[in-house]
Structure 1
Amino acid sequence: MAGNRPIPKQLWKAAALSGMASYLDAGLIVSISVNLAIYRDSYDMGVWMAGAISAIVTGCIAVGSLIGGRLADLFGRRRVYNWDIFCFALGAIVITLAPDDITLLAGVLIAGLAAGADLPTSLAVVSDAAPSWARGRLVAFTQVMWMLGIAVAIFLGFVLSTTGMTGARLITGQLAVAALVTWAMRSRLKLSGEYEDDDAPRTEGERAPSGVALRNVWTRAALLPMAATFVFYVTWGLGANTFGQFGTYLLVTVSDASQSLATGINLAFIPIGVLLTLAFVRLADTPWRDRLFYLAASVQILAFVIASLTAGALVGMLVFFVLYQISHPFAGETNYKVWSQLTLPPDTRGTTQGLTYALSRAVYAVAAFFTPALLDYSPSVLLWTITACMTAAACAGVFIIRVLVPRSPAVPRDRADLRVAGTEQPQQT
Structure 2
Amino acid sequence: MKVGARSTTGWKATISVAMSNYIEAGSIIAIATSLTFWQGDFGISDFAVGLLAALSANAFGAAVGAGIGGPLCDRFGRKAIYTYDLLVYMAGVLLAAFAVSFPMLLAAFVITGLAVGAGIPASWTYIAEQAPTTERARHVGTAQLAWSIGPLIGFALAAVLAPLGLAGSRLIFLHLFLVATVVWWIRQGLEESQIWKDESVTTAATSSGGSGLRGLFSRRINITALLVLMGIYGFWNTVAGQAGIFMPRVYDSAGVHSAVQQDLLQVLVWMCTVIVTYFGFMAYADRISQRLLYVIGAALGVLAWGVLVSFTDAGMPTLLVFAVLWGVSSGIGAQAFYSLWTSELFATSYRASAQGFMFLVVRSATGLLSYFFPTMLAATGLTAIGSLLVGLLTVALIIGAVFAPRTQGKTLQEIEIERYGHLLSPDEDTVVPDEQLGVHR
User: 1:54 is matched with which residue?
Assistant: 53
- 2: distance between equivalents of 1:246 and 1:46? 15
Equivalent-residue separation in structure 1 for 2:425 and 2:14 (angstroms): 17
- Written as runs of structure 1 = structure 2, the 5 A alignment for 1:67-106 is 67-106=68-107
Match of 1:354 in 2: 356
* Displacement after TM superposition at 1:95 (Å): 1.9
8 Å CA contact retained: 1:232, 1:396: yes
- The alignment's TM-score, normalised by the length of structure 1, stands at 0.86
* Distance in 1 of aligned mates of 2:344 and 2:220: 16
Distance 1:287 1:409 in 2: 11
Cα distance in 2 for residues equivalent to 1:126 and 1:100: 39
Matched length: 408
Do the aligned residues in 2 keep the contact of 1:232 with 1:336 (CA within 8 Å)? yes
TM norm structure 2: 0.84
- Pair 1:227-2:227 in alignment: yes
Q: Does 1:302 align with 2:313?
A: no
Deviations 1:357-405 (A, max 9, x none): 111111111112222333332432222222221111111111332xx32
Do 2:155 and 2:264's aligned partners in 1 also have CA atoms closer than 8 Å? Answer: no
Q: Percent identity?
A: 24
Give the corresponding residue for 1:395. 398
* Map of 2:173 onto structure 1: 172
Q: Distance in 1 between matches of 2:384 and 2:49?
A: 26
> Does the alignment pair 1:321 with 2:323?
yes
Which residue pairs with 1:423 in the alignment?
none
- Is 1:383 the counterpart of 2:386 in the alignment? yes
Partner Cα separation in structure 2 for residue 370 and residue 111 of structure 1 = 21
CA-CA distance at 1:265 after TM superposition: 1.9
Give matches, 1:11-160, under 5 Å.
11-43=10-42, 45=44, 49-57=48-56, 58-160=59-161
**CA RMSD in angstroms, aligned pairs only:** 2.9
| Cα distance in 1 between the residues matched to 2:45 and 2:242 | 24
Indicate conservation of the 8 Å contact 2:268/2:324, yes or no. no
Question: What does 1:1-20 correspond to in 2, within 5 Å?
Answer: 8-20=7-19
How many Å separate the matches in 1 of 2:105 and 2:303?
41
- The 3 A distance-change label for structure 1 pair 48 and 321 is closer
Give the direction of change, closer, same or farther, for the CA distance of 1:285–1:238 in structure 2 (3 Å limit): same
In structure 2, the CA distance between the partners of 1:378 and 1:97, relative to structure 1 (3 Å rule), is closer
1:43 is displaced (CA, Å) by 4.5
Shift of 1:16: 1.1
Bigger CA drift: 369-378 or 120-129?
Answer: 369-378
Separation in 2 of the partners of 1:130 and 1:246?
A: 35
Deviation at 1:225, TM superposition (A): 1.4
SS at match of 1:255: coil
For residues 394 and 192 of structure 2, what CA distance do their matches in structure 1 show? Answer: 41
Q: Which runs of 5+ in 1 are unaligned?
A: 418-429
Q: How far apart in 2 are the matches of 1:234 and 1:192?
A: 28
For 1:382, the aligned partner's letter is I
